Amino acid sequence: MIEVIYILCLRQLKHYWRSRARLIGSLGQPLLFLVAFGFGFGPMYSRASGGGNYITFLAPGIVTMGILFTAVFSGLEVIWDRQFGFLKETMVAPISRAEIMIGKTLGGATIAIIQGLIVLSLTYVIGFRIPSLSSLVLGLIFMFLIAIFFTGFGLTIASKMKDMQGFQMILNFLIMPIFFLSGALFPLTNLPPVIYFISRIDPLTYGVDGLRGAITGMSTFGTFSDLIVIGVLSALICAIGAVLFSKIEA
């Protein structure tokens, strides 16, 4: 099982590394948000919070953004493999489909974490700093769980679809609200009740809040609570994905 998971994971990493244009292009949006929002809304945030640093608040949200988009679109690999026949070859191999799902999830999550680390490095250029090594380690745990959840989420949706364009349309419809309502760009305090309720049922909210609490010390719900919620959700989506993936038709 370990060998199968390793091979599938390595295949996705090689494919991603060869797509240098995809690597560079996927950094464009987080970098734009970081610079435009960080310096554009920084003065307003500082006045509203009594002198707070908006870059410090924003950086964890932008790191999460880099992980989110890379992780969830890893589901395209399944549709791509189905269209070109590789998925059929994988399915007839003497391994369980759960192992295939785990391998693809770990591969996509690894790529997403690499993307998140690159974005995190870019935040250092504009002045963001992590206070301690222990904060970084805890932050990496949250990054891993966010990557696992949204890779599993993308693969779960992809397992029920055969059209690449339809997959992208559905994800664009879902992912932008998930990101914008997660508190990545603005505090969750003093929101209208409806928006606050939607934010509370948004899975990414707990990833963003947990990562922010881990590497900046600012948390709305508590870092430990965030860790439990995102951990349970990650396990749940992987279980659902494994069930759906076991019924996939190549």
- What is the structure's pLDDT at 148? 93
Task: For residue 208, give the nearest of 190, 227, 189 by alpha carbon.
Answer: 227
Task: For residue 111, give the nearest of 72, 142, 60, 81 by alpha carbon.
Answer: 72
Out of 6-20, 56-70, 97-111, 148-162, pick the least confident.
6-20
Task: For residue 247, give the nearest of 101, 102, 109 by alpha carbon.
Answer: 101
Q: Record the pTM.
A: 0.86
pLDDT value at 137 more than 70: yes
**Most confident listed range (29-38, 48-57, 160-169, 196-205):** 196-205
| Selected residue with higher pLDDT from 31 and 147 | 147
Q: Give the residue extent of every domain in the chain.
A: 2-245
Out of 3-12, 76-85, 159-168, 173-182, pick the least confident.
3-12
The residue count for the chain: 250
Confidence category of residue 4, pLDDT binned at 50, 70, 90: very low
Residue 93: CB partners within 8 Å, gap ≥ 6? Answer: 4
Helix extents (H) in the chain: 2-18, 20-40, 42-48, 54-72, 76-83, 86-91, 97-125, 133-158, 164-180, 193-200, 203-216, 223-245
Residue 195 near residue 118 (C-beta atoms within 8 A): no
> Residue 248 — φ and ψ, nearest 5°?
-70, 145
User: What are the contacts of 166-169 at 24+ separation with CB within 8 A?
Assistant: 167/75, 167/76, 167/79, 168/73, 168/76
Instruction: Give the tens place of pLDDT for each residue, 79-133.
Output: 776 666 666 666 666 666 677 777 788 888 888 888 899 899 888 888 888 888 9
* First-residue to last-residue Cα distance in the chain: 21
pLDDT value at 38 more than 90: no
7-37 b/e with 16+ CB inside 10 Å = b? ebbebbeeebeeeeeebeebbeebbebbeeb
Residue where the block lists tokens 């995190």: 120
Question: What gap in Å lies between CA 235 and CA 72, rounded to an integer?
Answer: 16
